[in-house]
Amino acid sequence: MKRLILGFVLFQLASPVLAGVDILSIRTWHSPLRTRLVFDLSGPVVYSVFTLTGPQRIVIDLKDTASNAVPPGDQTLGPWLLALRSGNPSNGVLRYVLDLTAELEHDVFLVPPSTVYGHRLVVDVEPVDKPVRTSIKPVDSAKKKNYVVVIDPGHGGDDPGALGRRGTREKNVVLAISERLKWMLDLEPGLAGQLTRKGDYYVSLRNRIKIATEQQADVFISVHADSARRRSAHGASAYVLSSTGASSEIGRELAKRENASDLIGGVRLGRQEHSVREMMLDMSVDWKIKESRAFAGVLLHELGKVGFLHTKQVQEAGFVVLKAIDIPAVLLEVGFISNEKEELALNTTLHHERIAGSIFRAIVRYCTEKSLCRVNQDSNGIYVVRKAESLSLLAARFGTTVSALKRANKLKIDTLLIGQKLVIPGS
């Protein structure tokens, strides 16, 4: 990341010259870390960047480039960009000027084509002199009382993940499921959930790992929705880190695809402070894999109660996001978005709640059986309703149905009151 200084800095990155490059679209993404401006290009472009002060500006000159793309409106530029302007200062040069709210750090770089996008010119801006950050404040180990579950909704931002035939995007499905899971965890005394992303923006694989480490996570779950060439493929599956190689061809292809997320998401790989490989820990990998397998087995057992499983066996593959974490870590595929029936289900709130409830029960079962957490157990099958709870969410949490809850409690309506006592069927 280049820091703005008084005057200007001029630099040019070597790139093959391609005459007649078109800007196809201009997009913005916002996260707690930065604002990102993306130019979608028809090919690689030669560009130069310099900064100006009084007021603060970033100037980007594109050689032999034309554009009919509509720039984002000022209201969508985020908290640090005031405006985006364009002009032609000389023949063969298209200039964009970013008006800034203050002195900012910036990075401008090209991203090569991926399976989802073509050539991109990425502009990242963020406040000056802030340390490497996440959207979550580090935990004080002396004050830690809860069993911390870091939930990692896969993909985000420029990386949509798998795409369904009806246009469903994996990134949206897994975020919805993850948000409901966090809500369930946070309502349970003794448990706490943390998300690696809270919106539609991309978090690098390295920063997902960093969040888990800084939060002193006790367990890590990366939530995804699978895709396969065979449209009939369906059901959930769970993966742990492999010390030898993928346990299946599907696992091998899945790991390859997920490990390429940084490229799709627009991360400047050559500028990473440390590679994920450098973050590998010297601890007992055998212990981590053993506990990860145990947790994954419980996950599959609970998920099997609410839907089909792709396989009952825990799978192994070399997922980057699982490598540098010294805790039980599982990559969970909640279903196949490429399957028409599962795509429809994955678009419903009810299915999101059922999956989140299954994961929640698996966490409670695993951590209590291992004596790793103290979760308040409901006595005599009686549950006291808390704020923002609904029959559907309670049904998902306890692995029952709304109709069963209503029958057990002789309820005529779906509305619940805070403090209301409910009989939980099967407790």
| pLDDT score of 1 | 46
Q: Given this model, what pLDDT does residue 272 score?
A: 46
pLDDT reported for residue 235: 93
pTM exceeds cut of 0.85: no
- Per-residue pLDDT band for 291 (boundaries 50, 70, 90) equals very high
Mean of pLDDT values over 376-382: 64
Asked whether residue 26 carries a pLDDT value surpassing 90, the answer given is yes
pLDDT digits (tens, 9 = 90+) for 195-241: 999 999 988 887 888 899 889 999 999 999 988 888 889 999 999 98
* Between 18 and 174, residue with greater pLDDT: 174
Mean pLDDT of 161-170: 91
**Are 61 and 47 spatial neighbours (Cβ–Cβ below 8 Å)?**
yes
Fold: same for 141-369 and 379-423: no
135 pLDDT more than 60: no
CA distances, 204 to each of 117, 197, 352 (Å): 17, 10, 25
pLDDT of residue 100: 92
pLDDT grade for 145, boundaries at 50, 70 and 90? confident
Tens of pLDDT, residue by residue over 391-425, are 988 888 888 889 999 999 999 999 999 999 999 88
pLDDT at 176 over 70: yes
Question: Which CATH number describes the domain made up of 141-369?
Answer: 3.40.630.40
Could you tell me the pLDDT band of residue 8, with boundaries at 50, 70 and 90? very low
Q: Please report the pLDDT score of residue 253 as a whole number.
A: 55
Considering only the top CATH level, what class is 2-127? mainly beta
The pLDDT assigned to 364 comes to: 93
- What's the chain's Rg over C-alpha atoms? 24
Q: How far apart are CA 150 and CA 363, in angstroms?
A: 11
Q: How far apart are CA 61 and CA 311, in angstroms?
A: 53
Is the pLDDT at 334 greater than 90? The verdict is yes
**pLDDT recorded at residue 264:** 56
Q: Is 116 exposed, middle or buried (0-12, 13-18, 19+ CB in 10 A)?
A: middle
Comparing CA positions, the residue from 155, 109, 150 lying closest to residue 259 is 155
Cα end-to-end distance, the chain, whole Å: 55
| CA dihedral (177, 349, 232, 230) positive or negative | negative
Pairing of strands 329-336, 219-226: parallel
Mean pLDDT over all residues of the chain?
Answer: 82
Task: Provide the residue ranges of all domains of the chain, joining segments of one domain with +.
Answer: 2-127, 141-369, 379-423
Burial 14-42 (b: 16+ CB within 10 A, else e): eeeebeebebeebbbbbbebbbbbbbbbe
**Range from 120-124, 137-141, 251-255, 359-363 that averages highest in pLDDT:** 359-363
The pLDDT of residue 410 is 93
Q: Confidence class of residue 341 from pLDDT cuts 50, 70 and 90?
A: very high
Confidence (pLDDT) at 7: 35
The answer to whether the CB of 300 falls within 8 A of the CB of 314 is: yes
Look at residue 246 in the predicted model and tell me its pLDDT.
Answer: 44
Q: What percentage of the chain reaches a pLDDT higher than 70? A: 80
The predicted structure's pLDDT at residue 33:
77
Report which of 281, 134, 284, 150 is spatially closest to residue 217, judged by C-alpha positions.
Answer: 150
Picking from 57-61, 73-77, 174-178, 194-198, which range would have the lowest pLDDT averaged per residue? 73-77
Write down the pLDDT at residue 325: 72
Nearest to 125, CA basis, from 102, 94, 96, 95: 102
| 332 or 18, which is more confident | 332
pLDDT of residue 63: 94
pLDDT at 374 over 80: no
- The answer, yes or no, to whether residue 271 has pLDDT greater than 70, is no
**Comparing 156-165, 270-279, 315-324, 344-353, which segment has the lowest mean pLDDT?**
270-279
CATH placement of domain 379-423: 3.10.350.10
Tokens matching residue 395: 């049904």
Query: Residue 342's pLDDT is what?
Result: 95
